[in-house]
Structure 1
């Protein structure tokens, strides 16, 4: 899970993905995350990302509502802010549930600057409302309010586009972020084992190739206290679609050295982001053979 040391510069930096198996105890999850963030910082990571649902993995609505707090005075956010400031890193909490109403939540990402300030927030746009069969049903929109804004934020090495998990299946969002200047796109996730085995690598590599950006996707992995099983395999992928770092199914840290000059190289070879064309979808009808013969 490690790469050779690389000194940070304006074009090169070390990224780390924290892979977790979060449970039902918020304080324990935060402590586990902070410990792994410390491991990443000790390996000279300048940007550290945690997965979706960093602070809580819960499917029971009443437990979820009881354990989720508003942003103001949130102890988890205070702990993450302190971790970013202590380690002097860009800390990206892939997502956590935040209460925005009496019975309404946001699935929200937070990007902390090295001084501990919040640099960006992003609310997950696409809700995971699916039926995978054999009783595995998810209805995220029942408890969560979907976001309506794509978000991009400035890092020292380029712009970072923010997405969360199910957003991965919507290439238009990723292309919009790339068109807005993203050099990196974050995809923190809690992919199910079933969908992860079938689609995780393919979708992430496709998004990297289509957008010609680095994809950074920290994941939940393993069997959780609530009975859910997630796929793991946190991935760092180059704009050419190469896998630069990958986790397994256990908690840990994935390290990758990011050279932003690779983006320019790939985009010079295949400048597809400049090749969009306006088009219409039309329905063709069969022409009678006698009309064609005239």
Structure 2
């Protein structure tokens, strides 16, 4: 049983990930260290923090079996070295198919033990003019239900990027204190919808939302929106960062969360 406390400091790491795995891990380690120096106890890395390849299928070359591989070793060692809860953005896991992977979030506790796993179930697709994306080319959708884990800030719900557009997915987590969203929103969709969707998820579920994004122009030509952020249960922004590598960090206050739910008991008023 993990004891909860009223104040927990949490951080979202923002990167502009390259095509080089080693370089990306080094940059993630530096930002994790900076967040720890600033007092973070739970840290979230962005989607694809380990690689943004030149082609969709480049990630297949670094896929790992669950429980082994340099990316998982990196995440476990960072969690144990700093004594933090680490939500490992996403990494490519073997899905049993030669030409596809699971896009997976793994969570590690302060001892370095893996405590949760979520395989992304909603796969992004977008086509307008010359801009086109289809994650199903290289990713197999997860078959898991919404996943949560217990941390000192209370129950935490896991999601990945495109999941953000499906409010029923977040509602199915049940009441949680924090929802985390590792993401790599495109500049086009992010500039239009990122902020309003994140604030909506926080307001309708009366919880904190911590979103860690890719944010900038990548080697492969893709431009991501960034704007990593911590939002409180009233929908107010606690901290955020625009573009470029950096950290959004702030305190989760569980008394504030309780006050919001008591003054406006929307979760109790639900009839469906």
**TM-score, normalising length from structure 2?**
0.95
Cα–Cα, structure 1 residues 61 and 246, in superposed 2: closer, same or farther, change >3 Å? closer
Give the deviation of 1:99 after TM superposition. 2.4
Please tell me whether the aligned partners of residues 34 and 80 of structure 1 are also in contact (alpha carbons under 8 angstroms). Answer: no
Moved over 6 A (4+): none
Give the deviation of 1:62 after TM superposition. 4.2
Which residue of structure 1 lines up, in the alignment, with residue 55 of structure 2? Answer: 60
Which residue of structure 2 lines up, in the alignment, with residue 239 of structure 1? Answer: 233
Which residue of structure 2 lines up, in the alignment, with residue 117 of structure 1? Answer: 113
- SS of the aligned residue for 2:171 comes to helix
Give the deviation of 1:59 after TM superposition. 5.3
Give the deviation of 1:202 after TM superposition. 0.5
Which residue of structure 1 lines up, in the alignment, with residue 76 of structure 2? Answer: 81
Cα–Cα, structure 1 residues 62 and 94, in superposed 2: closer, same or farther, change >3 Å? closer
**TM-score, normalising length from structure 1?**
0.88
RMSD: 1.3
Is there any run of 5+ residues in structure 1 with no aligned partner, and where? 1-8, 279-294
Give the deviation of 1:254 after TM superposition. 1.5
Is there any run of 5+ residues in structure 2 with no aligned partner, and where? none
Which residue of structure 1 lines up, in the alignment, with residue 190 of structure 2? Answer: 196
Which of the numbers 223, 240, 252 marks the counterpart of 1:229? 223
Give the deviation of 1:71 after TM superposition. 2.9
Higher Rg: 1
Check if 1:171 corresponds to 2:170.
no
Which residue of structure 1 lines up, in the alignment, with residue 180 of structure 2? Answer: 186
Check if 1:42 corresponds to 2:12.
no
- SS of the aligned residue for 1:108 comes to strand
Check if 1:274 corresponds to 2:268.
yes
Please tell me whether the aligned partners of residues 56 and 97 of structure 1 are also in contact (alpha carbons under 8 angstroms). Answer: no
Cα–Cα, structure 1 residues 195 and 75, in superposed 2: closer, same or farther, change >3 Å? same
Count of residue pairs the alignment pairs up: 267
- SS of the aligned residue for 1:34 comes to helix
For 2:246 and 2:107, the matched residues in 1 are separated by 20
Which residue of structure 1 lines up, in the alignment, with residue 214 of structure 2? Answer: 220
Which residue of structure 2 lines up, in the alignment, with residue 33 of structure 1? Answer: 28
